[in-house]
Amino acid sequence: MPTRSIAAMCGRFVSSTPPDQLAQYFEVDEMPEQLLERGPNYNTAPTTDVFVVHSDGSARRLDAFRWGLVPFWAKDISVGNRMINARAETVAEKPAFRKALAHRRCIIPADGFYEWKKEPGSKRKQPYFIHRPDGEPFAFAGLWEVWKGPMDRARSGAGTTGEGQLPPPEPLHSCTIITTGANEKMSELHDRMPVILPRSAWDEWLSPEVDDTELLGRLLVPAPSEIITFHPVSTEVNNVRNKGEHLIEPTPEPVL
């Protein structure tokens, strides 16, 4: 059976700009060479690795982290499946996000995202592709974390050395997209949208030296309606196995 879109906002997006171009666009200083092998994905879904831009204070990096934030205290990686989004209104209060908001923020580049709108008088939902009119990438506000495995395993010493012991788990880097209320244009489709950071906010958002969450919260507002446009697309996007460029091609407007 096809995998349906999930109810969260944002739950699917497009990642089509090559990593070297992203590095240039976001003024990145360092990037692992293996990222250059990654091709475009026009139907990026939760639990997959996505591009992130982050900074350690001395260098700005482009990396790939798992989409679905796994808090450092989580007992199981599946916790991240429920944390693909963080609400701007509560992100500073939730235990899973508040430390990341203060210390581990990132930008998640996206060439657009999808949203589904229920058609009046029908159970069918029409997918739409939302993107910038100028074709540039969105800069979604995001958070990231490092998970080193179940805490009880770490306390027991499993995975250290010795015959018969499990190898230590690889640290997992994961991320989430922050959402806020919809602007006027986006409200035609949904009541929420990803936080889209203007270029003027990138340095402040990425700086590890900025830890004033009240100040940072002022950046978590709806983007201007002028920077988004959208059109209906094929229901093929409902199936996450479909990842081709044809998914963003316009289809006729649904008859309401």
Active-site annotation, residues: 10, 115
Task: Decide: 9 and 85 in contact? Cβ < 8 Å.
Answer: yes
The radius of gyration computed from the CA coordinates of the chain, to the nearest angstrom, equals 19
Instruction: Tell me the helix, strand and coil percentages in the chain, rounded to 5.
Output: 20, 30, 50
Q: Using alpha carbons, list the distances in angstroms from residue 93 to 89, 96, 100, 177, 208.
A: 9, 9, 11, 16, 19
Task: Decide: 231 and 128 in contact? Cβ < 8 Å.
Answer: yes
Please, which residues have CB within 8 angstroms of residue 6's CB and are 6 or more apart in sequence?
Answer: 46, 84
Region of 162 on the Ramachandran plot (φ > 0 left; ψ -120 to 50 alpha; else beta): left
Q: Tokens 């199936």 belong to which residue?
A: 239
Burial letters for 56-71: b for 16+ Cβ neighbours within 10 Å, e otherwise?
eeeebbbbbbbbbbbb
Residue 230 corresponds to which amino acid?
F
